[in-house]
Each structure stands twice: as C-alpha cells, then as structure tokens.
C-alpha cells in the first residue's frame, strides 16, 4: 500500500514537472482583417496534440489531433487555420466579438503538457492619413515643395521618396506627441515625383503615395502645337476673308479672342501673367 502510494506521488510530481507554460500573452487585431495568436511553444517541442479553447469551461474552437484539424467553433466556422508545427492559430475576418481570452493546450510525444493564454484585443483599423501641400514654387530651375501628412488617429507618420529619387529631401515630425509629418524637397522640374507617407500603429502599416508635378514656364514640347496653331489662325482668317469681305480686322480680332480663350482653357491661370508652376496633383 505504501509502495503504491509512493509510486502515485512520484508519478504526480513527474507529471507536474512536465506541465510547462501558463504564460499570459496579448495580441491586437483589426475588424475585417486577420490575426495570428501565438501558442508560445518552441517548435522543437513538436506538439502532437493542439487544442485552442475559449471561456473558462474550455469550449474548444480548433484542435489538431491524430494528424487531423477540426474547426469546432460555430461563430468561428471557416475562419480558423491552425499551424500543426508551431501551434499558432490564425483567425480571419475578425469581428468585435472575437476580442476575448484564448487558451491553447499542447501535448508532445512524451505526453508533456504546455498551456498558454492569449488575450485578443479587436479594434477598428486607423483611418488613412491626409496630405496637404503647404508650399510649392519654381525658381531658378528648381522646384521646392513642402508636404504635410496628418492623421486623426494615434499613429506614427513618416515620409519617404520614391525609389531612385536623387533630389534633396528633409523630413521629420514637428511635434512628437502628435500624428503629423512634414517633408521639404527640391528637384529639377519637368517631371513627376511620388512621395510616400507611411502610417503605423506598431501592428499595421499603411503607405499613402502622393504625386508631385513640377513644370517649367512655357511648353517645352509644344513646337508641333505652335505649328498647328499658326495654321489654324491662317485658316480662320482666310475663311473670314471669304465670307466677310471688308471685315478682315473684325475677323482677326474674333480669331484672336478665340485663340486666347483656347489657351486659357488649355492652361488655366495664364491670364494676367504666369501662375505658380509647381502644381502637386
């Protein structure tokens, strides 16, 4: 009797020593997105049985046993994927009700047990930041532009130019406690350059591109346009001369007004002098 009791005590102690874990972990997910809950187990541990459960009464929602995966949770049906090597659980298409505490219990070939907990927080994804042009000019053959990226959510913002950009860039956060980032850049005109505002809350990162256009005065590639314009004027004058003999001067003025209106529609803001030529779009 004593011997039997001793064996049971030793077996219980051995089993207790084999039970590892009980770690409390946290994860953050976003409504409509996916999240991976880590089992916290070393892959070298080689689990043969994995059970993910919710609530204190251990309602199993996903299990891996005997080489088979079972998705048992009604509200989770079709939204779970279990990694049989790491024990990690992926939950897809998150909703607000998924924000609860999860428990994972794993067994290896030696029947050693490991149990960990993950508390999942589910929230709305942060809104896309907004970008404004605060300064834009073309002077001395150099475009100088300032961009301001802001967010209404608690995110970290930063600026980065497109790959291969060779102009000058200065960027930073004027106030480290607010969600804003400012960029100053200068580059040669007659080209488009894309700058990327990156927003991150530490879990998800979004990149918002913004294209800046800078065009020199005049139309560098408009010689065919000028030729067509001259021919158009000549045609209008000849037509007027044929239809309204003796009223050539009036016809020329009418043609001139038509051409002026054409250019105002083609290049808005040209009337009364040249407008600012660095136009972000």
For residue range 101-138, what is the model confidence (pLDDT) as tens digits? 999 999 998 888 999 999 999 999 899 999 999 999 99
H/E element holding 257?
A: helix 248-266
What pLDDT is stored for residue 202 in this prediction?
A: 86
Calculate the CA 99 to chain-centre distance: 23
> Residue 195 above 90 pLDDT?
yes
Structure tokens at 264: 């105002």
22 vs 163: which has the higher pLDDT: 163
Torsion of CA 65, 66, 72, 73, to 10 degrees: 30
Band (pLDDT 50/70/90 cuts) for residue 57 is: confident
H/E element holding 236?
A: helix 223-243
Mean of pLDDT values over 14-32: 70
The string of pLDDT tens digits covering residues 143-158 is 999 999 999 998 999 9
Band (pLDDT 50/70/90 cuts) for residue 100 is: very high
> Residue 67 above 50 pLDDT?
yes
- Residue 160 · residue 195 · CB < 8 Å: yes
> Residue 14 above 70 pLDDT?
no
Band (pLDDT 50/70/90 cuts) for residue 180 is: very high
Q: How far apart are CA 257 and CA 251, in angstroms?
A: 10
In the chain, % of residues over pLDDT 70: 68
What pLDDT is stored for residue 233 in this prediction?
A: 63
The string of pLDDT tens digits covering residues 229-274 is 655 666 566 566 556 555 556 665 665 666 666 555 555 544 443 3
> Residue 34 above 80 pLDDT?
yes
φ and ψ of 31, to 5 deg: -55, 130
150 vs 224: which has the higher pLDDT: 150
């Amino acid at each position: 009797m004593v011997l039997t009791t001793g064996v049971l005590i030793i077996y219980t102690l051995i089993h207790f020593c084999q039970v590892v874990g009980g770690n409390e972990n946290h994860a953050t997910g976003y409504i409509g997105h996916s999240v991976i809950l880590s089992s916290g187990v070393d892959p070298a541990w080689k689990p043969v049985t994995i059970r993910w459960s919710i609530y204190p009464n251990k309602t199993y929602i996903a299990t891996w046993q005997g080489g088979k995966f079972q998705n048992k949770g009604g509200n989770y049906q079709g939204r779970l994927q279990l990694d049989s090597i790491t024990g990690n659980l992926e939950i897809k298409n998150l909703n607000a009700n998924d924000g609860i505490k999860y428990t994972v219990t794993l067994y290896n070939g030696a029947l050693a047990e490991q149990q960990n907990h993950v508390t999942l927080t589910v929230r709305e994804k942060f809104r896309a930041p907004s970008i404004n042009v605060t300064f834009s000019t073309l002077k001395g053959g150099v475009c100088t532009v300032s961009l301001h990226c802001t967010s209404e959510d608690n995110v970290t913002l930063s600026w980065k130019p497109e790959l291969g950009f060779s102009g000058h860039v200065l960027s930073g956060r004027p106030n480290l406690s607010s969600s804003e980032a400012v960029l100053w850049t200068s580059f040669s005109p007659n080209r488009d350059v894309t700058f990327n505002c990156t927003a991150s809350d530490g879990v998800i990162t979004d990149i918002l591109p913004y294209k800046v256009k800078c065009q020199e005065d005049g139309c560098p590639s408009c010689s065919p346009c000028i030729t067509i314009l001259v021919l158009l004027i000549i045609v209008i004058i000849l037509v007027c001369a044929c239809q309204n003999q003796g009223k050539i001067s009036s016809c020329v003025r009418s043609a001139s007004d038509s051409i002026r209106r054409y250019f105002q529609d083609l290049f808005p803001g040209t009337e009364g002098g040249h407008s600012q030529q660095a136009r972000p779009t």
